Amino acid sequence: MAILDPTNFIISRKRKLYKFALFNNSPICFEFNQWEKPNATTHNLEIGAGTGYFSVDLASKNQGKNFVAVDVKADRLVKGAQRAEAEDIRNIEFLRARADQLTQAFAPNSIKYIWVTFPDPYPKSRNAGRRLVHPTFLKIYQELLREDGALYFKTDETNLFKWGLEQLVREGWRIERLSFDLHESDLNNNYKVMTTYESRFTKEGLKINFVKALPPVK
């Protein structure tokens, strides 16, 4: 059995607390209980954003539109916030929240695009309800999206992707764009902006699955 070095644990713990302090002191980072529902349309919402670098890159390319990156871990999100502040990207905010809290954070029909990027696949069937493309979450996305909005989903996990496609079709979503090898496709270059994981996976030779789905007709 490995022996834990308590000194290393303390250093690691301090680093995490330091990142939480950075998050709480950033003017563009918000805890769920500090967040106020936006009055205007949110152009782009990324769920499970991790570092948020993907949203930062998109925001830098679309300065006239607003972006929100959401994740449950502040120590990840603060990395994106630091980069956005360093590069003077002012059209993005970072929210620490769970996906099931989003209907409390945003008004119905107020989001143009929702991105689900490389979520945890939760491969065991008993954990299927935690997958971010489970029908429970698809209903949340449907409530939040504008009628002219869309859901984007990409992952390297082919089994999760196929399962997600099945859920989308079963729930009445309309598939508009689909690729099992995004970066070799002729799809829009905005779709090919890479997350941190995506950059690593493509270097390893993995193919990226991508779908753009329109919400069910009401």
- pLDDT the model gives residue 7: 45
CA distance 106 to 35: 10
| Residues tagged active-site | 120
Q: What is the pLDDT of residue 26?
A: 87
Q: What is the pLDDT of residue 11?
A: 43
Locate 47 and state its tokens. Answer: 């769920």
Question: What is the CATH class of 14-214?
Answer: alpha beta
> What pLDDT is attached to residue 9?
41
Residues 46, 117 contacting (CB under 8 angstroms): yes
Q: Where are the beta strands (DSSP E) in the chain?
A: 29-31, 42-47, 67-71, 92-96, 111-117, 145-155, 174-179, 209-214
Domain boundaries along the sequence of the chain: 14-214
CA 192-194-199 angle, to 5 degrees, is 120
In this predicted structure, what is the pLDDT of residue 8? 46
Q: Which pLDDT score is estimated for 24?
A: 75
- Predicted pLDDT of residue 1: 42
Rounded to 5°, the CA angle 104-112-213 comes to 105
Calculate ∠ Cα 155-157-159, nearest 5°: 125
Q: Are strands 92-96 and 67-71 parallel, antiparallel or unpaired?
A: parallel
Per-residue confidence of the chain (218 residues) as pLDDT tens digits? 444 444 444 445 555 666 667 777 789 999 999 999 999 999 999 999 999 999 999 999 999 999 999 999 988 999 999 999 999 999 999 999 999 999 999 999 999 999 999 999 999 999 999 999 999 999 999 999 999 999 999 999 999 999 999 999 999 999 999 999 999 999 999 999 999 889 999 999 999 999 999 999 87
